[in-house]
Amino acid sequence: MPLPSFAKRSMTLSEWIMLLGLAAVWGGSFFFNDVAVREVPVFTVVVSRVALAAIILLAILQLRGERMPRAPKVWTAFFVMGLLNNAIPFSLIVWGQQHIASGVASILNAATPLFTVLLAHVLTRDERMTGGKLFGVVIGFAGVATMIGTTALRDLGVHVTAQLMCLAGAVSYACAGIYGRRFRAMGLGPMHTATGQAVASSVLLLPVVMVVDQPWTLPMPSPAAIGALIGVAALSTALAYVLYFRILATAGVTNLLLVTFLVPVSAILLGLLFLGEALMLRHVLGMVLIGVGLLAIDGRLWRAGRSAARLAD
């Protein structure tokens, strides 16, 4: 069965709205995680996140009178997606963040669209790399680095193995986006795909948390931590992956993973609104650069330039 074609293609207004919504709920995960990890170990947070999301999504499907597919081929794809999109990158990035600052990890994670553009050019026929896409990715990456600041940039090159782990996580995310294109061709909607990935991720990560954290030995977390776990599961995972697979099905992997640039913007704005954090000049400059990069990748920037040049002639 042929994979859907994305050769067009600027995103539509509805796709941009979904992408901004995805950035908002994924940006909110930083807030929820910050509350939860004060009392709950990292891998327990991760497994709780995907397992609760799986339960929520299964319950929604049940209320809608829908069933999950049973075909082995489909579940094999769910497990591969869960491995590439959750188990491998979560484990690599968590390991890396034990040795490097979160700002460095964020910059390295923002390399995901760059890897996506390169891999999609090699592995797909309809999402080829162009000069405009590459320029946009580089500018967007520079915007993320600007927002995070020079302190993190000075730390690049320190703890090289940990940084390579985070980069490998970004490559895994890029591969997941490309692999996930097949679900639309299988006739699966975003709800079923998000649910299948969440269930598969839970099964894959459960043995890890049992060995590493031994959660049955942990004290009962506070209501605030439990609320944060529910928030990160319901909003930043269940809702996020429904949006993720809907955008992937219509706009393509290169457009989808632009969200990696927008998540730091979302996290900073949420911190400004709800945590009383300061908005600095570098944040504004970084957002401007990210905006220019997004427009360049989308193609509108080049079309506007060509139209202006024709009018000048």
Please check whether residue 37 lies inside any domain of the structure: yes
Please check whether residue 45 lies inside any domain of the structure: yes
Model confidence pLDDT, tens digit, residues 20-50: 898 888 877 777 877 888 898 888 988 998 9
Please check whether residue 7 lies inside any domain of the structure: no
Tokens (6 digits) for 189: 């909607």
* Angstrom distance (rounded) from CA 44 to CA 213: 7
Domain that residue 132 falls in: 13-308
Please check whether residue 93 lies inside any domain of the structure: yes
In 15-135, beta strands by DSSP E: none
Please check whether residue 48 lies inside any domain of the structure: yes
Please check whether residue 313 lies inside any domain of the structure: no
pTM: 0.78
CA–centroid distance for 308 within its chain? 35
Please check whether residue 1 lies inside any domain of the structure: no
Please check whether residue 251 lies inside any domain of the structure: yes
Nearest C-alpha neighbor of 147 from the set 249, 286, 30, 303:
286
What is the domain count for the chain?
1
Model confidence pLDDT, tens digit, residues 251-298: 877 777 778 777 777 777 777 777 666 777 777 787 788 777 777 776
pLDDT band, residue 148 (cuts 50/70/90)? low
Model confidence pLDDT, tens digit, residues 202-247: 999 999 899 988 988 999 999 999 999 999 899 989 999 999 888 8
Q: How far is CA 263 from CA 10, 33, 140, 196, 268, in A?
A: 20, 14, 12, 24, 9
